[in-house]
Amino acid sequence: MLGRVRISAPRRPRWLDLWQGVSLKGRLVAGVAMLAVLGGLAAINLPWLKVQRVEVEGNSVVSAAQLLQETGAHLGASTLRLNTKQLTANLLSQPWVSAASVKVRWPGTLVISVTPLPPVLVYQQGTTSKLLAASGAVLGPVPQAPASAAMPVLVDQQQGSPPRAGSVAVPSRLASALAALYPACVAAFTVACSAFIISPVGALEIKSAAGWVADLGPALTAGQIGSLGPKLEALRTLAARVNLKSSSIKTIYLENPSQVEVSP
């Protein structure tokens, strides 16, 4: 004998039972909410609501592509989801930026305004000369203008690739210290400083207008830069008892400020 097979109808989905239990008003509200969600998703992905162009205002020291990258945005990003305050904060954290703002110009343009820090040093490495900010950041090549001649010159004799625009070439504490020291050299040491030098081994040297060179020892780490104060004070004390305008002095060794040596 053949057994009996019982065939039952497929069970209705539970969500359908729940939906039928919803009032007409509830169905309308749910439908409107769903349409709003779908409309929002569609708007976010519409081409004309994405970043298609970048306009740069001000004087950027880096390319528009790099500037966009430094904001944290990118081409194709939804303009509805961009946090312009955060993008602006990202730009302000760059070592070469003094002031910045990022805004959206609808429908698909990102406007980036940026002002670089002012230059305080002329940085020479090999045959290239670039402007540095007090942060140590590279601001670009030295323009053919008389204003740059009044800035102190920092000659880097270390081997290495030339730093790109926007990057930090020397520690900020060192750059700002040299910029402040340069105009005070005559008052402190009775003779002008003609240039600062970072030797191949990373020692900081002061070249005077009289021709002598003061060796202050290593000055690249935070601790080494922090120890420059006593060394400069030792040089000032030396200037009170030795004629530093004399062309007979060749080298002044200040690595140990308690044992200053003068080499004729």
HEC readout, the chain: CCCCCCCCCCCCCHHHHHHHCCCHHHHHHHHHHHHHHHHHHHHHCCHHHECCEEEEEECCCCCHHHHHHHHCCCCCCECCCCCHHHHHHHHHCCCCEEEEEEEEECCCEEEEEEEECCEEEEEEECCEEEEEECCCEEEEECCCCHHHHHCCEEEECCCCCCCCCCCECCCHHHHHHHHHHHHHHHHHHCCCEEEEEECCCCEEEEEECCCCEEEEEECCCHHHHHCHHHHHHHHHHHHCCCCCCCCCCCEEECCCCCCCEEEC
Percentage of the chain beyond pLDDT 90 is: 68
Question: Would you say residue 164 has pLDDT above 90?
Answer: yes
Distance CA 209, CA 170 (A): 24
Give residue 46's pLDDT.
57
pLDDT bracket for residue 179 (50, 70, 90): very high
Give residue 145's pLDDT.
60
Give residue 159's pLDDT.
85
Domains and CATH numbers, the chain: 49-116 (3.10.20.310), 119-263 (3.40.50)
Give residue 161's pLDDT.
86
pLDDT bracket for residue 144 (50, 70, 90): confident
Give residue 13's pLDDT.
57
Q: Global pTM?
A: 0.79
Question: Would you say residue 231 has pLDDT above 60?
Answer: yes
Model pLDDT for residues 192-230, shown as the tens digit of each residue: 999 999 999 999 999 999 999 999 999 999 999 999 999
> Residues near 8 by Cβ (< 8 Å), separated by ≥ 6?
none
Task: Identify which has the larger pLDDT, 119 or 107.
Answer: 119
Question: Would you say residue 45 has pLDDT above 80?
Answer: no
- Looking at the DSSP bridge assignments, the partners of residue 215 are 205, 253
Give residue 180's pLDDT.
95
Give residue 150's pLDDT.
80
